[in-house]
Amino acid sequence: MKRYVTDDIIYALATAWAQSALAVIRVSGEGCRKLLSTRFSRPKALLEAPNATLVHGYLCDEGGKAIDEVVAAVYTEGHGYTKEESVEFTCHGSLAVIKELLALFNRLGMRSAEGGEFTFRAFLHGRLDLTQAEAVQELVSSQSQRSRSLALGRLEGSLRSLISDMKEQLLGIVASVEVQLDYAEDELDEFVFPRSKLVDLIKQIKDLSDTYQIGRLYRSGARIVLAGSTNAGKSSLFNLLLKQERSIVSPVRGTTRDYIEADLDIHGIPVRLYDTAGLRESNDAIESEGIRRTERLIGQADLVVYLVDSTELGHVPEEDERTLVVYNKSDLVKPPKGRMAISAQTGEGVGALLTEIAKRLAKGSVSTGDEQVVIESERQHALLENAAQALQRSLVLVDQDIPLDITAVELGEALQNLGELTGEVTPADILQKIFSGFCVGK
Amino acid sequence: MDYDAIVVGGGHAGIEASLALSRIGFSTLLITQNLDTIGKLSCNPAIGGLSKGNLVREVDALGGEMAHLIDHSMIQYRILNRRRGPAVQAPRAQADKFTYARLAKETLEAQHNLALFMDTVVDILIDDHNRLVGVVTERRHTITCKVMVLTTGTFMEGRIFIGEYDASNGRLDEPAAIGLGSALRKKGFPVGRLKTGTPARVRRSSLDFDQMEIQDGEETMMPFSFDYDSIQRPALPCYITWTNENTHQIIRQNIHRSPLYGGKIVGKGPRYCPSIEDKVVRFPDRERHQIFVEPEGVGTEEMYLNGISSSLPEEVQHAFIHSIAGLEHAQIMRPAYAVEYDFIDPQALFPSLESKLVENLFIAGQTNGTSGYEEAACQGLMAGINASQKLKGEKPLVLSRNEAYTGVLIDDLVTMGTQEPYRMFTSRAEYRLNLRHDSCDQRLTAKGFSVGLQKQEALDRLKDKLAKMDAVKDLLRARRLEEKSALQALRMPEVTIADFLERMPELKAYEEPILYQVELDVKYEGYINRQERQISRFEKLESLLIDENLDYDAIEGLSAEGKEKLKKVRPLSVGQATRINGVRNSDIAVLIVHLDRGGRHGR
Ligand SMILES: Cc1cc2nc3c(=O)[nH]c(=O)nc-3n(C[C@H](O)[C@H](O)[C@H](O)COP(=O)(O)OP(=O)(O)OC[C@H]3O[C@@H](n4cnc5c(N)ncnc54)[C@H](O)[C@@H]3O)c2cc1C
Ligand SMILES: Nc1nc2c(ncn2[C@@H]2O[C@H](COP(=O)(O)OP(=O)(O)OP(=O)(O)O)[C@@H](O)[C@H]2O)c(=O)[nH]1
Ligand SMILES: [Mg+2]
């Protein structure tokens, strides 16, 4: 029951999980400045900064290598959002950087915050007045929904069975140790620590944890290519989605010559969006090269959004897993019934389009071919890492012949971490495992 | 008012409860069915064991009696699991069961303020405010009191089973206590049935020890009690033999004659202590099961067959016992049997062990769904202490999960209840590194003193012990062995303090328990520190107190199940609430928010 304890240090990404110019990571809890200063290029400046001031510097890894240039907003106790000692880092918004910083904080021994936890602390410290308590309750219940959804029941099928299988293996190892601790040596068979099982389990957990690093979707974002004939409205849609005039729009066919890319977040999924040169027969060498590039991008895309100009129906490709056909300019001409339609000018239908895109991406049309189970959340990653580290420490203890009762502490910690992913493990579960697996009791 | 306090039942719980109440200064009456069975070891003639040995020493540190009784009746002493690590090693002793029971009765008789009376309680008296005011006995006595501790063991509506035979007994040939169970059911107590069993006793002179392995105890016996440093007792060996395929064959062929398999027994038995028929059925691949043959005392030929409790018919018992090496000609003096009895759901108790249904009624021991002498004793002691606190109008003494197995046990019972006879295990404790048996006095002696039970002498001894331990540590720190100090060398897993005695004769000036504890302290230091953070978190939630009368219906946002469970258990702290089955994280958060709104922790 870690979740409602307020004396440890928590961290979380405060901005969206997406590629962006800047990101904010929030850290809160007594002693956080001291801990952070050990990885900050100007420890003294961070430690001595008065309340509500900014400190510029670098966050570095254990080897002293800079991970990113950051600006730290420092709040002393009694101030800031949570009214706890806290630091808000503004860093570069590349997903790789964010991920590395979060991993660094985890290694420092800080805890990835639960949804709503910052607000919860703010409330407990009187930051929100009591009339806002209802809002907090709501928050808290959405938090619990999230934590419940993170428990076994809602994990995606194959991931869920993978993790519960690991938990089962660990429970087996724990039970074989606990039975040694709860029954006298002369009542039991000769005990050999199941070392190879442990080594094997550590590898499984590490492998799963590592998918977080290679999970393509979240490393570089999903690639979405806007394609279609010239003047279909690709650049118009591109600008609309980015909420800025990035790409030139004009009634002239073939306006976009080379592709333009930008990052955005679609329903929490980081996406790299490409505006491309319209597809048509062309004698212009530059335009032809542009079209070749478009074709290459289409080949690499996770999803192709193929825009059709409703005012002049030309070639309409087959829909498939990777191709979404969308009729544009719905404000001018009624598109065919039952087809996805939008207006890049008025914005009509764009909400539905985004939902459809997110649905397609989540379906796994993303990881092309590869059926690997991947870890998607920072929290899952942190819990797996902590479990693997605790098991690694227990392995060291076993190899040094340290008595079992101490090894058991590390095994217990690993079990607790896996339990947070799949539902709690209680002493009763361990005893149950002992009684069903071992013939004990005089 | 006839007495300040009445204790019902002279078993291991009742002994501690009645001594605590009378020693603290209240006029106390112990009513028990039979004065000759006070302190009887119903089952195994042994005290202690893993985590149970810790319970005994906790009882001692608080000012209880169990350690004294076993120290002066033991006939073999061992420290179990020495190699598994300091946190889980524990002392266990074979007892001379006659001496044990005689000492128990003598101690009660010698106690000022304590009266003994032989009768059976059949009902309790309650006033208009749901407060207990007295008891009614089988011989129609009505006796009044201000507080009561109920410890009925296996006797409340007890029934024993041997194959097709059954009888209304609490132990073989001892009448059950009839009437009280039904009376309590009628008053609305949540009464259920549990079951346990005991093996046969055989005659020493009929056994062939040449076919068995001999098992001796430690050379030096160390006392369970912290009150003295050494004991001198005669030591007897135990023996080990094994069942075989033939034994299992006989059991399998007759399994249908077991009252358990026939459905006659409804109460649930302990999974951790299965009967031999259970073992054979559940672990068909095992070729043999171990049996410890243990003496029941010095002046008796009875030997206890540890590991083959059974409720099969007597002729089947004969057959399978005679199939075992060394027991071929064993004369069975008492048969194995199972006993089924009433217990009261402990979720109906506060952590003080006071009933939520009837004020001034405290319940302890097997009645609360536990099994084992040590489990009974520690509850009896806590019930006695808290009944005294109630009489004094003071706050109950509730031990925390990180200071005593007793605290773990009681918290488990009142928070989660139990579905089978509850036994202590080290794995039930989150922070067992902190619950070492040798340091119980450091955690508990002062608490025993503060409730008026422990003596000033004990505090002085503790102070003296700590000073000596410091002195030994200084000696070790100062002494260099090769490039390390002796203190550092002691951290190595294979090194013991005994290895230094040759080279450091000055250590010999200190008693064995002092040296032993220094050794464990030194080996453990680093690991203990690693747990500190977790523990301080744990303590934080424990220290968020909840009023026992909190109106859960008035709190918005609790889940329906959570609300129902909270209302049933009525936890006294947020920490306790987190351990209730069915209470969700969101319920805890709502609870914390609610408490905070009430300004309970002043921010
Ligand atoms: C057959 C059997 C098998 C057992 N097996 C195991 C085992 O496998 N493992 C284990 O750990 N422990 C076992 N024990 C349990 C162990 O004996 C008990 O846990 C322990 O003795 C409980 O102590 P207690 O004080 O609660 O009750 P008890 O020692 O049973 O003492 C209760 C006392 O109260 C008296 N009494 C009861 N009701 C009344 C009344 N209404 N009025 C007056 N006096 C009353 C009884 O006469 C008795 O003296 C077994 C006991 C029995 C009988
Ligand atoms: N009425 C209406 N006009 C639109 C819509 N979408 C685009 N247009 C117009 O169509 C013309 C072409 O739009 P672009 O966005 O430049 O088209 P494109 O697909 O990028 O064209 P190329 O870059 O030339 O391939 C512009 O004049 C837009 O204003 C729409 O939904 N409704
Ligand atoms: Mg364009």
Nearest CA to ligand 2 atom 32: A329
Residue B601 has pLDDT above 50, yes or no: no
Query: Shortest CA distance to B84 belongs to which of B330, B431, B432?
Result: B432
Q: Which ligand is nearest to the CA of A250?
A: 2
The stretches of B244-333 forming alpha helices (DSSP H) are 245-253, 276-282, 314-322
State the residue for tokens 């203990």.
B528
Taking an 8 Å cut-off on Cβ atoms, the answer to whether A403 and B271 are in contact is: no
Taking an 8 Å cut-off on Cβ atoms, the answer to whether A124 and B592 are in contact is: yes
Q: Which of B28-37, B100-109, B232-241, B263-272 has the lowest mean pLDDT?
A: B263-272
Q: Which residue of B has its CA nearest to A138?
A: B557
A230 lines ligand 2 (CB under 6 A): yes
Which atom of ligand 1 lies nearest, measured to the CA of B270?
8
Q: Which ligand is nearest to the CA of A330?
A: 2
Query: Shortest CA distance to B233 belongs to which of B362, B94, B356, B338?
Result: B94
Measured between alpha carbons, how far is A5 from B536 in angstroms, rounded to an integer?
10
Contacts of B292 in chain A (CB under 8 A): 442
Contacts of A406 in chain B (CB under 8 A): 85, 87, 433, 527
For residue B589, give how far its alpha carbon lies from the nearest alpha carbon of chain A (Å).
7
Question: What percent of chain B stands above pLDDT 70?
Answer: 98
Measured between alpha carbons, how far is A386 from B12 in angstroms, rounded to an integer?
45
Q: Which ligand is nearest to the CA of A314?
A: 2
CB pairs under 8 A between A and B: 145
Residue B550 has pLDDT above 90, yes or no: yes
Contacts of B427 in chain A (CB under 8 A): 178, 181-182, 427, 430-431, 434
State the residue for tokens 């961070």.
A46
Contacts of B49 in chain A (CB under 8 A): 184
pLDDT of residue B418: 94
Measured between alpha carbons, how far is B218 from B273 in angstroms, rounded to an integer?
25
Whether the Cβ atoms of residue B397 and residue B386 lie closer than 8 Å to each other: yes
- pLDDT per position as a tens digit, B412-439: 999 999 999 999 999 999 888 889 999 9
Q: Is the dihedral of CA B457, B460, B464, B469 positive or negative?
A: positive
Which residue from A136, A400, A435 is facing B272, i.e. has the nearest CB?
A: A435
pLDDT of residue A246: 87
Q: Which of B215, B272, B434 to mutate against chain A (most A CBs within 10 Å)? A: B272
Taking an 8 Å cut-off on Cβ atoms, the answer to whether A140 and B87 are in contact is: no
**B578 touches A: beta carbon within 8 Å:** yes
- Mean pLDDT of the region B333-350: 96
pLDDT of residue A2: 42
pTM metric for this prediction: 0.76
Going from the Cα of B366 to the center of ligand 1, the distance in angstroms, rounded, reads 6
Which atom of ligand 1 lies nearest, measured to the CA of B309?
8
Which residue from A133, A406, A441 is facing B597, i.e. has the nearest CB?
A: A133
Contacts of B274 in chain A (CB under 8 A): 439, 441
Which residue from B86, B283, B425 is facing A182, i.e. has the nearest CB?
A: B425
Taking only the tens of pLDDT, chain A with its 442 residues reads 345 566 789 998 887 666 677 888 999 999 999 999 999 999 999 999 999 899 999 999 998 888 888 999 999 998 887 888 999 998 887 777 888 899 899 999 998 887 667 777 776 676 654 334 444 444 444 333 333 333 333 345 677 778 888 999 999 999 999 998 888 877 877 888 999 999 999 999 998 887 765 454 545 567 899 999 999 999 999 999 988 888 999 999 989 988 998 888 787 677 889 999 998 888 888 888 888 888 888 877 888 999 999 998 778 888 887 899 999 999 998 888 888 999 999 989 999 999 898 888 766 433 433 345 667 667 778 889 999 999 999 999 999 888 888 899 899 989 988 887 776 677 777 777 777 767 666 6
Confidence of residue B351 (pLDDT cuts 50, 70, 90): very high
Going from the Cα of A260 to the center of ligand 2, the distance in angstroms, rounded, reads 16
Nearest CA to ligand 1 atom 11: B372
Asked if the interface predicted TM-score (ipTM) of this complex is over 0.90, the answer is no
Contacts of A178 in chain B (CB under 8 A): 427
- Mean pLDDT of the region B258-282: 84
Q: Which ligand is nearest to the CA of A326?
A: 2
**B592 touches A: beta carbon within 8 Å:** yes
CA atoms within 13 A on the CB side of A322: 15
What's the Cα-to-Cα distance from A209 to each of A25, A383, B263, rounded to whole Å?
22, 9, 50
Neighbours of ion ligand 3 (CB under 5 A): A 235, 255-256
What is the radius of gyration, based on Cα positions, of chain B? 25
A103 or B145, greater pLDDT: B145
A345 lines ligand 2 (CB under 6 A): yes
Measured between alpha carbons, how far is B200 from B335 in angstroms, rounded to an integer?
4
Measured between alpha carbons, how far is B346 from B360 in angstroms, rounded to an integer?
16
B275 lines ligand 1 (CB under 6 A): no
Taking an 8 Å cut-off on Cβ atoms, the answer to whether B272 and A440 are in contact is: yes
Measured between alpha carbons, how far is A288 from B259 in angstroms, rounded to an integer?
90
CA atoms within 13 A on the CB side of B79: 20
Whether the Cβ atoms of residue B149 and residue B3 lie closer than 8 Å to each other: no
**B556 touches A: beta carbon within 8 Å:** yes
Contacts of B600 in chain A (CB under 8 A): none
State the residue for tokens 């407990």.
A124
Measured between alpha carbons, how far is A97 from A100 in angstroms, rounded to an integer?
5
**DSSP annotation string for B429-496:** -TTGGGG-GGGHHHHHHHHHHHTT-S-HHHHHHHHHHHHHHHHHHHHHHH-EETTEEHHHHHTSTT--
For residue B80, give how far its alpha carbon lies from the nearest alpha carbon of chain A (Å).
6
B137 lines ligand 1 (CB under 6 A): no
A328 lines ligand 2 (CB under 6 A): yes
- Mean pLDDT of the region B98-121: 98
- Mean pLDDT of the region B368-376: 97
Pocket residue to mutate for ligand 2, from A235, A276, A291, A326, most atoms within 8 A of Cβ: A235
Query: Shortest CA distance to B124 belongs to which of B99, B156, B101, B94?
Result: B156
Which residue from A182, A185, A439 is facing B427, i.e. has the nearest CB?
A: A182
Contacts of B85 in chain A (CB under 8 A): 181, 402-406
For residue A8, give how far its alpha carbon lies from the nearest alpha carbon of chain B (Å).
8
Where does residue A275 rank: exposed (0-12), middle (13-18), buried (19+ CB within 10 A)?
buried
A344 lines ligand 2 (CB under 6 A): yes
B33 lines ligand 1 (CB under 6 A): yes
